[in-house]
Structure 1
């Protein structure tokens, strides 16, 4: 029972990172497609302005995921990081590079250097969610059973590629929705329609990739495919579709601020559907939650740590996100710095 509760906590942390970090990755995706220095100046300025207050905070969820995996499910941790070390390493490199590119682009005055840092930030924002999604696809396909050695087949397969593309589409959708609301909040009315169109494109891409993924991955991830098309997994997928439809409607109206919540709900529900589809396995169909769990004492301590984190850190993160979405946290302008 304890191991099951910790497994759901792990899934919740993954969903939180997908929802929070996905917004930032999506902003970087649209930064990549914004165009040349002149045409893309205003969208990139909005992206810098919107991301600056909280973009580093989302890594808290990723650290928590690693801690829960390592402490609560050491067999699962060893299995995943042995078989999938390459895509995970590439994702980590992408995180470092996108952070460095974003931090160094704004203070740099030379246009050539700004282009280099901007390209690093944007390309890494595309590749990082792809490799993270590919790793999740490798787990869902069951190719990373205990004892599996690292190989391209573990993550360069149909299920992994579709999962990686879905991750990119989800982040692009999230980023566009949040930037639509930010454009209205910051008075950049010409960019409201610009990012609203991209939010709709992201939603369409999610639908197309989702349907295609369910079709082509059936022979490669039979267990998870069955879980996504039956029972609780199917219910969660249908709720995600409803949230997607609600987002596309809300983002076009006066209550666009609510679209941020429904867009995050889309991603969270999809992650929950994946978790429900492969239960009771952490790696279908070779490693159950109980088989991967560590000793009882560390699992109980993990529950205590999770409870303490929820009480002490959870409210602070909620306040921080709320202040940011309400425009209270504003980065310093050049005039503020010079003054």
Structure 2
């Protein structure tokens, strides 16, 4: 394995972590947006929002560490590919950045106000940003996967590169994946917090969203066949084993949800989305940008690659235990009376 391939693998691990952790946070915002306003069922909608905010509050900003990590490794290890990517995708990248900032500001300001209309406005802004941001990030991924980011700076269509049929499809897939992960995670969190009605509500949402996501995923293959044939070829050849694994994980996660095995469903749901991402990576390997920019051609100088690997290894000693401790600490149920 070359240093360039190793760094790409590390980058993809970071992207996977951002997808299954940060994606669930975005999904919580999606459910925050669609939650009812008035009590009228087995639980109070206000309690649902409290659970959503309690679940994501301690870790939502920490998850953006992985996005920053991915961007940093991308431009350091593969500068020519990053330059072409950023030059073509600067509009959706800016929209996504504004969405992340707006989402964070709205979440914080909502906690700091007791004025009714401001409270509602910040909640609405938080929810809309939680839908918009993963949708745009998914559109960016679709543009890359469909070969609309040429390896030459300034050669790409800065509008069609991210508004094409494949990008719309992957944007919807991204939002659906976020909502699915969030519903699965929240069903387990509600169960752990002693909220059986909320746990059941999120379990049903997870089942419905998971089935809908599967339908969208299969229906979108018709779009990919005509709009991104090289991606379909990769998925049905090199990436096929991983894509099939994702399908199996998806089916198992739905079975676990149906049987109310919420803790296990949480792990398998994350594996479903994560393996789908790796299936895309395998389908496109060793191409970074179509038609012919390979990993080796896009890689930085060997000295830069080795130094980057060393810095990542050193940083991982600090970062990984810290993130694991943070996540683990807030997964433990507080003793009664605290």
Q: Which is worse superposed, 242-251 or 273-282?
A: 242-251
Query: Contact 1:14–1:61 (CA<8 Å) still a contact in 2?
Result: yes
Residue 117 of structure 1: how far off its partner (Å): 0.4
Q: Distance in 1 between matches of 2:209 and 2:144?
A: 25
Query: 3-state SS of the aligned residue for 2:227?
Result: coil
2:199 corresponds to: 192
Residue aligning to 1:16: 17
Paired residues for 1:29-108 under 5 Å: 29-36=30-37, 40-108=45-113
SS of 1:316's equivalent? helix
User: For 1:328 and 1:59, how far apart are their aligned partners in 2?
Assistant: 26
Instruction: Summarize the alignment of residues 207-218 of structure 1 with structure 2, pairs less than 5 Å apart.
Output: 207-218=214-225
Q: Which runs of 5+ in 2 are unaligned?
A: none
| Aligned match for 2:132, one of 124, 127, 130 | 127
TM-superposed deviation, 1:176: 0.3
State the match for 1:301 in structure 2: 307
**1:254 offset after TM fit, Å?**
5.2
Shift of residue 84, structure 1, vs aligned partner: 0.7
CA distance in 2, matches of 1:252, 1:216: 31
Q: Residue 235 of structure 1 aligns with which residue?
A: 241
Cα offset for 1:284?
2.5
SS of match in other structure, 1:218: helix
SS where residue 288 of structure 2 aligns? strand
2:286 pairs with 1:286 = no
CA deviation string 1:147-192 (max 9, x = no partner): 3244211110011111111100100000000111111111222111
**What 5-or-longer segments of structure 1 have no aligned partner?**
none
Q: Encode CA deviations 1:51-87: one digit per residue, 9 max, x unaligned.
A: 1111111011011001101100111111111001111
Instruction: Tell me if structure 2 keeps the 8 A contact 1:223–1:284.
Output: no
Of 213-222 and 52-61, more deviation after overlay is shown by 213-222
Partner of 2:8: 7
Match of 1:324 in 2: 330
Aligned to 1:166: 173
**Per-residue CA distance 1:111-163 (angstroms, 9 max, x = gap):** 21111000010000000000001001100011110232442111100111111
Instruction: Give me the whole-angstrom Cα distance separating, in 2, the residues matched to 1:193 and 1:224.
Output: 38
Secondary structure of 1:282's match?
strand
Distance 2:20 2:86 in 1: 23
For residue 37 of structure 1, report the CA deviation from its aligned partner: 5.5
